[in-house]
């Protein structure tokens, strides 16, 4: 296939669905149909997708453990003027998926690299989680071993941007329990499970509550996960929160939750809604 703008062959980075097949774009189907070759992470897995959309293009396997000879072969197809579409098992290639080395080498050879954007679990989760989206950090999969995982979380404990992790069903519970310990019981977080699929679940709460939720039902630990953690408060905001907690503790001894929250909002200038929620939590701890 010929790249529409430059008239040269290209490496197309094609996003495929993360569950719901309806999420593939018209352009993705056109590119996959007209490419000379599709490089896929798992050809058997991807052949189900290509069959579904009537795509007859030859599939070759390309993954992180591919030999450099396989990568060289793909690059020589590109250098010979043929077009290659790169896909992964799901979502956007290169996002916790293979392709970085191929793209870097293609660009260094002046082969045009053209993105065909579409589904990606991290952006799907972020846009629906209700956490700040203006600045965020994507950390991919946390380490499997607990020591390394906690160390990573500790290094991120003061990060003010929204944190985003991918997690597997085997480790989701341990990971949430570690987050609870390191980021603190009150930190807000959102667990996004099985996005775009039948059992899609987007569940937000404090890490204390999420630790209980994840253990409460086997179904809560099934499927694919994105976990988002609210960023840490700015240091002076953190001090103000501590001061608000102190005032709430005192007032809750004498007043109902609503009144205590309203008074602390007046004194500190913090939002009434947030203080009301916090006062409910503190009242529940008594
Ligand atoms: N490249 C993919 C993307 O664009 O999101 C991610 C590939 S990575 C190997 C697979 C991980 O992405 C899963 O373990 C899970 O953490 C996340 N993921 C993929 N699909 C998902 C879905 N439908 N719902 C929630 N998380 C998903």
Ligand 1 site-directed mutation target among 14, 96, 170, most atoms within 8 Å of CB: 96
Give the distance between the most distant pair of CA atoms in the chain: 80
Contact status, residue 193 vs residue 224, Cβ threshold 8 Å: yes
φ/ψ (deg, to 5) at 205: -175, -175
Q: Please give the distance, rounded to the nearest whole angstrom, from the Cα atom of residue 170 to the centre of ligand 1.
A: 14
Order of all β-strands in the sheet with 84-87: 59-61, 37-40, 84-87, 11-14, 113-116
Say what the pLDDT of residue 6 is. Answer: 40
Residue 8 has what pLDDT?
55
Q: What is the pLDDT of residue 286?
A: 65
Q: Write out residues with Cβ below 6 Å of ligand 1.
A: 18-19, 88, 90-92, 95-97, 120-122, 166-168, 192, 194-197, 224-226
Please give the DSSP secondary-structure letter assigned to residue 219: G
Distance from the CA of 62 to the center of ligand 1, in angstroms? 18
Write down the residue that tokens 């608000």 correspond to.
244
Helix (H) or strand (E) holding 8: none
Superfamily of domain 122-229: Tetrapyrrole methylase, C-terminal domain (3.30.950.10)
CATH topology for the 11-119 domain = Cobalt-precorrin-4 Transmethylase; domain 1 (3.40.1010)
CA of 15 to the centre of ligand 1 (A): 12
Q: What pLDDT sits at residue 7?
A: 44
Pairing of strands 84-87, 113-116: unpaired
At 112, phi and psi to the nearest 5? -60, 135
Residue-by-residue pLDDT tens, the chain, 286 positions: 545 554 458 999 999 999 999 999 999 999 999 999 999 999 999 999 999 999 999 999 998 777 788 899 999 999 999 999 999 999 999 999 999 999 999 999 999 999 999 999 999 999 999 999 999 999 999 999 999 999 999 999 999 999 999 999 999 999 999 999 999 999 999 999 999 999 999 999 999 999 999 999 999 999 999 999 999 998 788 888 899 999 999 999 999 999 999 999 999 889 999 999 999 999 987 6
Q: Over the stretch 218-231, which tens digit does the pLDDT of each residue have?
A: 999 999 999 999 99
Radius of gyration of the chain (CA): 24
> What gap in Å lies between CA 257 and CA 280, rounded to an integer?
6
- So what's the pLDDT on residue 284? 85
CA of 59 to the centre of ligand 1 (A): 22
Q: Do the first three CATH levels of 11-119 and 122-229 match, i.e. the same topology?
A: no
Position 4 scores a pLDDT of: 54
Residue extents of the structural domains in the chain: 11-119, 122-229, 237-284
Place of tokens 């404090």: 206
The protein residue with its alpha carbon nearest to ligand 1, atom 20, reads: 18
Tens-digit pLDDT profile for residues 200-221: 999 999 999 999 999 999 999 9
pLDDT at 269: 87
Whole-structure pTM over 0.95, yes or no? no
Both structure tokens of 235: 């240091």
Q: Rounded to 5, what percent of the chain is helix, strand, coil?
A: 45, 15, 35
């Amino acid at each position: 296939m010929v790249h529409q703008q430059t008239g040269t062959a290209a490496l197309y980075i094609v996003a495929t669905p993360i569950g719901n097949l309806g999420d593939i774009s018209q352009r993705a189907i056109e590119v996959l149909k007209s490419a000379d070759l599709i490089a896929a992470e798992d050809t058997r897995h991807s052949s189900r997708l290509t069959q579904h959309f009537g795509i007859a293009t030859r599939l070759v396997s390309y993954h992180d453990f591919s030999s450099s000879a396989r990568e060289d072969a793909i690059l020589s197809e590109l250098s010979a003027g043929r077009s290659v579409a790169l896909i992964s098992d799901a979502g956007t290639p290169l996002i916790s998926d293979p392709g970085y080395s191929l793209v870097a080498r293609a660009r260094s050879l002046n082969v045009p690299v053209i993105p065909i954007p579409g589904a990606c679990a991290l952006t799907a989760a972020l846009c629906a989680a209700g956490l700040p989206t203006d600045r965020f950090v994507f950390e991919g999969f946390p380490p499997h071993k607990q020591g390394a995982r906690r160390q990573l979380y500790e290094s991120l404990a003061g990060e003010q941007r929204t944190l985003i992790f991918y997690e597997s069903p085997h480790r989701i519970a341990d990971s949430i329990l570690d987050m609870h310990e390191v980021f603190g019981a009150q930190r807000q977080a959102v667990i996004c499970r099985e996005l775009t699929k039948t059992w899609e679940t987007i569940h937000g709460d404090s890490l204390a509550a999420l630790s209980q939720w994840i253990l409460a039902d086997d179904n809560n630990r099934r499927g694919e996960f994105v976990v988002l953690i609210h960023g840490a408060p700015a240091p002076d905001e953190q001090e103000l929160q501590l001061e608000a907690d102190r005032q709430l503790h005192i007032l809750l001894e004498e007043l109902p939750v609503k009144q205590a929250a309203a008074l602390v909002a007046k004194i500190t200038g913090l939002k009434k809604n947030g203080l009301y929620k916090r006062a409910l939590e503190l009242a529940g701890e008594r």
